[in-house]
């Protein structure tokens, strides 16, 4: 029991996200970074299941067989790296909100916003974001673990 408590106490995962998309609030349960991706999920999902994330999605074509919501930020031409980035214009990053509900799938792409990555190691990435999806806004702070299955 003591060992379990020590492991839990040493877990630096932070996912403080606020805001909503289409009037629905989003509370992440799990998050990972790896390769070009930073992703937050509304359900408990294992790193082994990250094979389905992609940079481009189409409404109606669910990429995964489980109901969930996800906030995904991806770098267009690099892995996750330190710095401050904008999603506007010819931006180096893109952000999408994914809603998988049975056979229905909807993608909402951010219209404006920024991401600041303050720390990246082999095991963890930290930073902040403020992303607009039309009239809706998502903000957050994060320290999340690395997932090798996002490197594809």
Interval 71-99: pLDDT, tens: 999 999 999 999 999 987 788 999 999 99
**Sequence-distant (≥ 6) Cβ neighbours of residue 139 within 8 angstroms:** 17, 18, 19, 128, 129, 130, 131
Flag residues of the chain having pLDDT under 50: 1-9
Alpha helices (H) in 34-110, listed in sequence order: none
pTM exceeds 0.95, yes or no: no
Q: How many helices (H) and strands (E) are present in the chain, helices listed first?
A: 1, 11
């Amino acid at each position: 029991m003591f060992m379990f408590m020590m492991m839990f106490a040493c877990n630096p995962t932070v996912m403080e996200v606020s805001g909503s998309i289409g009037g629905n609030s989003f509370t992440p349960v799990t998050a990972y970074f790896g390769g070009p991706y930073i992703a937050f999920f509304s359900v408990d999902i294992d790193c082994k299941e990250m094979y389905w994330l992609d940079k481009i999605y189409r409404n109606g074509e669910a990429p995964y067989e489980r109901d969930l919501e996800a906030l995904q930020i991806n770098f267009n031409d690099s892995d996750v790296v330190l710095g401050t980035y904008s999603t506007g214009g010819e931006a180096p990053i893109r952000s999408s909100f994914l809603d998988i509900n049975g056979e229905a799938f909807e993608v909402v792409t951010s219209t404006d916003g920024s991401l600041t990555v303050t720390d990246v190691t082999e095991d963890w990435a930290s930073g902040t974001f403020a992303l607009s999806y039309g009239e809706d806004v998502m903000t957050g702070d994060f320290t999340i673990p690395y997932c090798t299955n996002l490197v594809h």
